[in-house]
Amino acid sequence: MLELDKLFVTGLKWSADVLWLAVPEEHLVASHNPATGETEEKVRYPHEVWDLCPSEEGLWMMTAGGRLGRQLVLWSLSGEREIRKFNCPDGAGAGITLYMGRIWLTHRHNRKLFCLDPANGKLIWMMRTEHESLSPAACGNEFWFIEADLGPLGHWSTSGEGKYFFSRYDPVRETIVERRPTSFVPRCLAVDAERFWYAQEGETGIRSAKKNLRQL
């Protein structure tokens, strides 16, 4: 068993009542059952695993490696082997999720959202985002990511100028339809039908909050 409050989590996903966690410092994928409080090791990978997303085929992992330093690997949990892998377009490495049968990746600093075919990694389309975006997450027909508005000077702005949101995005209209401001700097996000699950910068472990809260 693992101690959740000691893990530095950079990727989160909710699937079948379980949270999946990416812990790159330990090259680790873990699962956490909120009902029982148990956290278990699932994969030890040769490279760092920055984000992940379970699927019917296996476990998608965003790992170090690839042409521009980030790659997507589909991992068989039962066979403990790689099924397929391909490079992240443009080196996009700010998170992965599955939505509408497609892979979605965020490129934080270039303010891009990529949609890929999971069968071969082919780029289907690319969208621009208004602000920096990271850690995409999907639940049902909802598509969320963390949005960072760092102020007029971007990463050179002072810490007080930056604003962060859990933002719901409509890929068809290519627009934000809902923003939930946060009083903290989030590192990664997962969503279920009722809650946000997240890790905060500067902290280990994870937290959660009900979706119906207007201010987080």
Q: 162 lies in which domain range? A: 4-204
Q: Domain for residue 10, yes or no?
A: yes
Q: Which residues pair with 23 in a beta bridge?
A: 28
In DSSP notation, 175-195 reads: EEEEEEE-SS-EEEEEE-SSE
- pLDDT confidence of residue 150: 85
70: domain CATH number is 2.130.10.10
Q: Domain for residue 29, yes or no?
A: yes
Edge-to-edge strands, sheet with 163-170: 132-139, 142-149, 163-170, 175-181
Of the two residues 66 and 62, the one the predictor is more confident about is 62
Mean pLDDT of 71-94: 96
- pLDDT confidence of residue 155: 54
Mean pLDDT of 7-18: 98
- Mean per-residue pLDDT over the chain, rounded: 94
Q: Domain for residue 215, yes or no?
A: no
Of the chain, the end-to-end C-alpha distance in Å amounts to: 30
How many domains in the chain? 1
Number of H helices, E strands in the chain: 0, 19
pLDDT, one tens digit per residue, over 182-214 is 999 999 999 999 999 999 999 999 999 999 887
**pLDDT band (50, 70, 90) for residue 163:** very high
Q: Domain for residue 210, yes or no?
A: no
- pLDDT confidence of residue 162: 84
Q: Domain for residue 216, yes or no?
A: no
The percent of residues in the chain predicted with pLDDT above 90, rounded, is 88
Long-range CB contacts for residues 96-100, cutoff 8 Å, separation at least 24:
96/11, 96/51, 96/52, 96/53, 96/60, 96/62, 96/72, 96/136, 97/13, 97/53, 97/136, 97/137, 97/138, 97/143, 98/53, 98/55, 98/60, 98/138, 99/136, 99/138, 99/143, 99/171, 100/171
pLDDT over 90 (residue 134): yes
- pLDDT confidence of residue 61: 98
pLDDT over 70 (residue 12): yes
Mean pLDDT of 52-65: 96
pLDDT over 80 (residue 129): yes
Tokens of 179: 């923003």
pLDDT over 80 (residue 173): yes
With a CB cutoff of 8 Å and minimum separation 6, the contacts of 70 are 50, 62, 63, 64, 87, 88, 91, 92, 93
User: What is the model's pTM?
Assistant: 0.94
Q: Domain for residue 166, yes or no?
A: yes
**pLDDT band (50, 70, 90) for residue 152:** low
Tokens of 63: 């790992």
- pLDDT confidence of residue 165: 97
Mean pLDDT of 162-176: 95
pLDDT over 70 (residue 157): no
- pLDDT confidence of residue 214: 76
Q: Domain for residue 191, yes or no?
A: yes
Alpha carbon distance 164, 157 (integer Å): 14
Q: Provide the pairing of β-strand 142-149 with 70-76.
A: unpaired
